[in-house]
Structure 1
Amino acid sequence: MTSSTVPERDRWNYNTHYYRLTDSAASGDARTALDVGCGEGMLARRLRLTVPRVTGIDPDPSSIEAARAVSEDIDYICGDLFEHPFEPESFDVVASFAALHHMDARRGLSRLAELVRPGGTLVVVSCARSEFPRDLVMEGVSFVAAHIQIRRHTMWDHESPVVWPPPASYREMRKLSAELLPGSHFRRHLLFRYSIVWRKPNSVI
């Protein structure tokens, strides 16, 4: 089902399932948040519930148009993450869901980290490619878990552009996150997603 036919409270897919991972980062003292690859703005609106100033950026004009039609208290930018002149270290929370696999992973992860304010948090959820036979068991368990969730929910098909298959593997993304974001927490999830959560150090010694 598409955006136009499903109330927002009922929209569910493999990405929205993990929106809760941003909740702790967006609570407390967070004053600014950036949603990278915001699409139609669902995550940005969730962040806005607790963060006073939220910005969403996406290169797809139709997605940004749809996002702006729903909420006027969020700054939606139709643009490119690498070209838009964001100030480095200007956001308490930087979130990116299902967007990193649309770009070069090393360049994208570095750019996301650059925008996080010292003491702030980066939350990435995205897709990766399974490697066989290494990932055979996890892939099988994921299919079972997905089947269970789909029986509980109506799958919402967003109308933003899709990139498949993902260029990087789970193993490669785990290694890259450890290299670029020391102290980050990488986790592979059951619903064909991984997450990276990283708190930027307050100072570099």
Structure 2
Amino acid sequence: MPFDHNDHYHRAMARLVPGGARTALDVGCGTGRFARRLAGLGIEVDAVDPAPEVIEAASASPVDGVRFVCADVTRMELPPGRYDYISCLASLHHMPFGTVAALRDALAPGGVLAVLGCYAERTTADFVWSLAAVPANAAARVAVAAGERAGGRDGGRRAVHVPAPVRPPEMSLEEVRREAASLLPGFSLRRRLFWRYLLTYRKPS
């Protein structure tokens, strides 16, 4: 089906880019759709993903301002204070949560870390949100499919989908909140529809 839960939040993620940002790191970039969006804002982007097949697909359509790198960010030596904006779209649950400490340190003063994350459903509230997402998800899929059949944004051509390795989340939303409190002081965490949360952190200037 054409509706992508992560793509749905691209606009919200882009709104979190701090004014005057010049450099960004997109962690778990996949085939690079969000990295390209950041480049469209005039930002130099390092787009990193450990899956060779998705980096190969991303690199097949190069764009100015984006450098695609096949690498595991947990094994990279990120330059301290390098990035004005760091994004993680449904990728943090593939690595130890403590990785956010390295991402935090790689932020420039005033830089923003934005995580669109997945969480394990444990509580009544989790399941209520999950049930609420089901009809919205179905409606969104139908709407996107109808738009593509009618010619849509892409002139009726659906983008090639390259499946990346997937892993179910293990941390609950409360566990994410607790870990973030110790590693990202002053963070914000909000539950979002479509089985996601949005965590943001701004490094002190």
Moved more, 127-136 or 66-75: 127-136
The 3-state SS of whatever aligns with 1:15 is: helix
Among 139, 159, 162, the alignment partner of 2:163 is: 159
Deviations 1:102-151 (A, max 9, x none): 0111x222122121111011110011111143523222112232222222
> Partners of 1:39 and 1:19 in 2: how far apart?
13
Q: Give how far 1:79 is off.
A: 0.8
Give every structure 1 segment of 4 or more consecutive aligned residues whose post-TM-superposition deviation is greater than 3 Å.
154-158
The 3-state SS of whatever aligns with 1:188 is: strand
Aligned to 1:169: 172
Please report the RMSD computed on the Cα atoms of aligned residues, expressed in angstroms.
1.9
Number of residue pairs aligned between Structure 1 and Structure 2:
191
Does 2:178 match 1:184?
Answer: no
Would you say the 8 A contact 2:26–2:86 is kept in 1?
Answer: yes
Q: 1:28 to 1:135 in 2, by over 3 A?
A: closer
The one-letter code matched in structure 1 to 2:75 is E
Q: 1:182 to 1:59 in 2, by over 3 A?
A: same
The 3-state SS of whatever aligns with 1:197 is: strand
Does 2:88 match 1:93?
Answer: no
Gaps of at least 5 residues in structure 2 are 146-157
The one-letter code matched in structure 1 to 2:93 is H
Aligned to 1:4: none
Q: Give how far 1:95 is off.
A: 0.4
TM-score normalised by length of structure 1 = 0.85
Does 2:122 match 1:119?
Answer: no
The one-letter code matched in structure 1 to 2:89 is F
Q: Give how far 1:30 is off.
A: 0.3
> Partners of 1:82 and 1:145 in 2: how far apart?
35
> Partners of 1:152 and 1:72 in 2: how far apart?
29
Among 186, 191, 201, the alignment partner of 2:204 is: 201
Q: Give how far 1:158 is off.
A: 4.7
> Partners of 1:51 and 1:84 in 2: how far apart?
25
Gaps of at least 5 residues in structure 1 are 2-10
Would you say the 8 A contact 2:118–2:195 is kept in 1?
Answer: yes
